[in-house]
Chain A
Amino acid sequence: MTTTRTNGPAERAQPGLTRQLLKRFVHHRIALTSLIVLATLMMVCFAAAWIAPYPRGQQDLLTGPSNPSQMHWLGTDELGRDFLSEILYAGQISLAIGLAVAVLSTVVGTVLGAVAGYVGGWLGELIMRVTDLFLVVPAIALLAVILEGLGPSPVTIVLALAALGWTYMARVVRAEVLSLRERDFVHAARGIGASDTRIILSHLLPNLAGVIAVGTSLAVASAIIAESTLSFLGFGVQSPQSSWGTMLNQAAGYVGTSQVYLLYFPGLAILVTVLCVNFIGDGLRDALDPQRTNL
């Protein structure tokens, strides 16, 4: 067990911890490629206002639906909107929702999970029973009910997804904290009089980095898929705003027609994004795994 994660003097003797982690991550080829692909995808989507070939929602009814061509790389939909531009703008919403949900549910889940694991008692018990409850009802059904009640908008979608998403993180963090708090280095820290705050922040948190990083990447992936499913069912992002899920909802009507390619691209966008996120998660897990000593 390496105890170099803590802020002890031993760590300073080694080459920087961050550099070690970076080195391991960079050696993970697929993860690095995924990071580059995802970063490019995000930059392209969020720079859509400058680089999208056509302005958002610009209709060209004379063109109507058309196949991919030099003018429109991914074709146009029934209103003659350039599909590539639409995908870039929709990507902003899909990606933003995915990231926001991941950040929110990671923070809430980590804090509650750490409390449940470190403090325990009736509070910890209560937190874990609440996470049990969420296992009993299908998330998609609960989300649809919440969004139908609150009214769907990107903000309510983020809140609803995070309200359900934190439970996974809380379980994982709690389990990890339960095992960490009995380790020798924590006992030693307590023995020399370290406060709870110090133990949590400088001894537990660095050791939790692995599970938190992997959990966050999982949260991004599942949030993007959940959002697209909700939007497909009609409870997610509503027109005139659109996400990749909303686009798929509309494209579902083209199955079996000559415009079926409209179904391919938003789905591919989701697939590529989630694949990249998952590979990055794998890379992070391997890089941050404290059991891994060989570089």
Chain B
Amino acid sequence: MLTFIAKRTLYSVPVVFVASFVLFWAVRATFDPLAKLRQSTDPEALDREIARLGLDRSIPEQYLLWLRSFVTGDWGTSTRTGTPVVDLIGQALWPTAQLAFWGLLVAIVISGLISVYSAVRQYSVGDHALTAAAYIGIAMPAFWFGLLLIQFLALWPKDVFDLDDPPLYFIGLHSIDQGGVVDYARHLVLPVATLVIAFVAAWSRFGRAAMLDALSSDYVRTARAKGVPRRQVIWRHAVRNSLAPFVTVVALDAAVMIGGLVVTEQIFAIPGMGRLFLQSLVAGDVFVLLPWMIVVAVAVVVCNLVADIGYALLDPRVRLR
């Protein structure tokens, strides 16, 4: 098992390096890191900056220079805020991590429960209703769903019941003047729902198929024939065996979920990685964009790694490969 983990980890290192080079090259080709300085009246300022960043050298050389400072923790200074990029990204990571954590948890639990229910009660009214809901969830732009949630679960009840505050908040992750679990939860519900809708829909369809596969397999029939209680057959045999493919699908969507975070944070004004990305992009702040993408790419690679290891743990057949 340890060899397997070590091998998979080693395999993801070149992926990160190649990805970072391609991203570096793409960002350098589309954005001018000196855009702001070009308006400077000091004619030498431009040359100084070119020499400092090594912009007169070839792209591979520039990449190596950049990589060296990136690895040593010198990520440069944002041209938008004038603060070190490390600090900007460090501050933005925490809200995003909270959102991603709750989103993943909620999406996995709900889609898992739906999968089991729909497969066990295949073609029941509930299964049909959930199938229809999943089709709609997949076909809906998530940001539109988020805006509808704000309208129907926050602003509309506030108006109708004449409340001081909306029952669910839609700006930021906590109120300025109060804290506590209730306040936190009232802030989280809408963004998390917006983030997970598409994933709950897609994963529950996939999970249902995986469960149906498992339920019609020989080992389930054998277990039933032996007289194993129904509950135990479902949870210990069928669910256990459909977990492995489910985990893979969840992990493959890691990058997509980060894309969803960008949209969600924008709608709900959450000061996380997504908003940092959009603000930096609009301001043409190359010094933030590049480290942002690398951090995200590493996060995705780590997710995939965890999924592969999880797959190996859940499915003994792949362990020795």
**Residues of chain A having any CB pair with chain B under 8 Å:** 129, 132-133, 135-141, 144-146, 148-150, 221, 225, 228-229, 232-235, 245, 248, 252, 255-256, 260, 263, 267, 270-271, 274-275, 278-279
Contacts and interface: CB of A to CB of B under 8 A. Distances in A.
B259 to A, nearest CB: 4
Contacts of B301: 136
B200 to A, nearest CB: 16
B144 interface: yes
B296 A255 contact: no
Contact of B141 (A136, A149, A229, A279): A229
Of listed A137, A148, A248, A271, residue having the most chain B CB within 10 A: A137
Nearest to A268: B144
A133 B17 CA distance: 11
Nearest to A30: B135
- List the 6 closest pairs (A to B, CB-CB), nearest first: A149-B30, A138-B259, A140-B259, A274-B139, A256-B155, A267-B144
Contact of B143 (A135, A137, A235, A248): A248
Contact of B262 (A141, A149, A234, A271): A141
B89 to A, nearest CB: 14
A139 B261 CA distance: 12
B30 A145 contact: yes
A252 B26 CA distance: 32
A139 B297 CA distance: 11
A139 B257 CA distance: 10
A138 B262 contact: yes
B18 interface: yes
B300 A267 contact: no
Interface string B296-316: 110011001000000000000
A286 to B, nearest CB: 15
Contacts, number: 123
Given A137-B255, A145-B27, A255 B281 contact: no
Contact of A135 (B30, B138, B252, B277): B252
Contact of A133 (B22, B31, B155): B22
B119 interface: no
B148 A263 contact: yes
A148 B31 CA distance: 9
A278 B19 contact: no
A228 B300 contact: no
Contacts of B142: 229
Of listed B255, B289, B297, residue having the most chain A CB within 10 A: B255
Contacts of B26: 145-146
Contact of B293 (A141, A229, A233, A255): A141
14 contacts: A129-B18, A140-B263, A141-B293, A145-B30, A145-B281, A225-B141, A235-B281, A255-B155, A256-B150, A263-B147, A263-B148, A267-B140, A274-B139, A278-B135
A135 B255 contact: yes
B293 A267 contact: no
Nearest to A279: B135
A260 B304 CA distance: 41
B22 to A, nearest CB: 6
Nearest to B166: A256
Contacts of B304: 135
Contact of B31 (A132, A149, A233, A278): A149
A175 to B, nearest CB: 14
A229 B145 CA distance: 12
B15 A132 contact: yes
Contact of B300 (A135, A145, A232, A255): A135
Given A129-B18, A255-B151, A271-B139, 20 more contacts: A133-B19, A135-B300, A136-B16, A137-B23, A137-B297, A138-B256, A138-B300, A139-B259, A140-B262, A141-B259, A145-B26, A149-B29, A228-B141, A229-B263, A248-B141, A263-B151, A267-B144, A270-B141, A274-B139, A275-B139
Contacts of A148: 30-31, 281-282, 284
Contacts of B267: 252
A270 B259 contact: no
Contact of A271 (B18, B140, B143, B297): B140
A139 B296 CA distance: 12
Contacts of A140: 259, 262-263
Interface string B264-308: 001100000000011001101000010001001100110010000
Contact of A232 (B136, B141, B150, B296): B141
Given A145-B289, A263-B147, A136 B255 contact: yes
